[in-house]
Amino acid sequence: MDTGKAIGIIVNNPEFADVRSLEGVAPTKNRTVFTIAVPTTAGTAAEATINYVITDVEKKRKFVCVDVNDIPDVAIVDPDMMSSMPKGLTASTGMDALTHAIEGYTTKAAWELADCLNLKAIELIAKNLRGAVQNEDAGREGMALGQFVTGMAFSNVGLGIAHSMAHTLGAVYDTPHGVACAMMLPIVMEYNAECTSEKFKDIAEAMGVDTTGMDQAAYRQAAIDAVRKLSVDVGIPTKLEALREEDLDFLAESAFADACCPGNPRETCVEDLKNLFRKLM
């Protein structure tokens, strides 16, 4: 879908023939070609979002293009299209959607309308991802809906450094996007917790935790634990074997330059990002 979005933009805006010129907020003049987007995974919500992500294989980086002209005219979100996904792909793409919802709920630009959608999406994903991985109809339906609901929200408010770091891991080690998001999400939640006021209480509750009597430290930990448990339950690894100490400078600098980085609720720096990557080793 992202490749299709880039091609559609370039067809109608040929002055951007080098896709690299579209990185960040792209000043295109014309809408894309008429586009019908049909997701076959329940994760990216690219059928609804303002973004597309392209890999620059020469420079070993993935970059995000942000452009209102690229939103598809029609989205056909049908869980039947997703039913052929194997377990691992269902799990990783579903964790991508959870990362959108949690990063979108806590990002700097978050506001009430997007919050409603992101919280509902967290609830839908927490309730349905395990069932989807078992290829149950209700689980597939809940995930098709959940990923789309957060797509409508995060597309308007942005994300955070779990995505910056996931883009970098995808470009350097070819780590599937959802696996990279799932591995980074609890690590980044721990790092961001102090800048999220009471939002982790809402996240914990949306994930089914009873937070009655919990103080701030306890509900923040409960939200992180619930994310870790879901990730482990659906079979996502917690360590990245490919990661090398000598790659950390490039990884951290690349993640710091990523378009999702400024939206992170906690101000970050290259050194902090290096330490966060190190937690995957």
Ligand X SMILES: NC(=O)c1ccc[n+]([C@@H]2O[C@H](COP(=O)([O-])OP(=O)(O)OC[C@H]3O[C@@H](n4cnc5c(N)ncnc54)[C@H](O)[C@@H]3O)[C@@H](O)[C@H]2O)c1
Footprint on this chain of ligand X (rule: CB under 6 A): 2, 40-41, 43-44, 46, 49, 51-53, 62, 82, 84-85, 89, 93, 96, 177-178
What CA–CA distance (Å, rounded) separates 74 from 128? 25
Instruction: Find the residue with minimal CB distance to Fe ion.
Output: 96
Nearer to ligand X, 144 or 226 (CB): 144
Report residue 183 as tokens: 């591995």
Nearer to ligand X, 2 or 123 (CB): 2
Contact 132, 140 (CB under 8 A): yes
Q: Which one, of 72, 67, 48, lies nearest residue 145 by Cα?
A: 48
Note whether 96 binds Fe ion by CB under 5 A. Answer: yes
Nearer to ligand X, 46 or 276 (CB): 46
What CA–CA distance (Å, rounded) separates 101 from 109? 13
Minimum distance from residue 213 beta carbon to ligand X (Å): 37
Nearer to Fe ion, 4 or 221 (CB): 4
Minimum distance from residue 68 beta carbon to ligand X (Å): 13
SS (H, E, C) 58-125: CCCEEEEEECHHHCCCEECCCHHHHCCCCHHHHHHHHHHHHHHHHHHHHCCCCCHHHHHHHHHHHHHH
Minimum distance from residue 86 beta carbon to ligand X (Å): 6
Note whether 205 binds Fe ion by CB under 5 A. Answer: no
Under the rule (CB under 5 A), what is the footprint of Fe ion?
A: 96
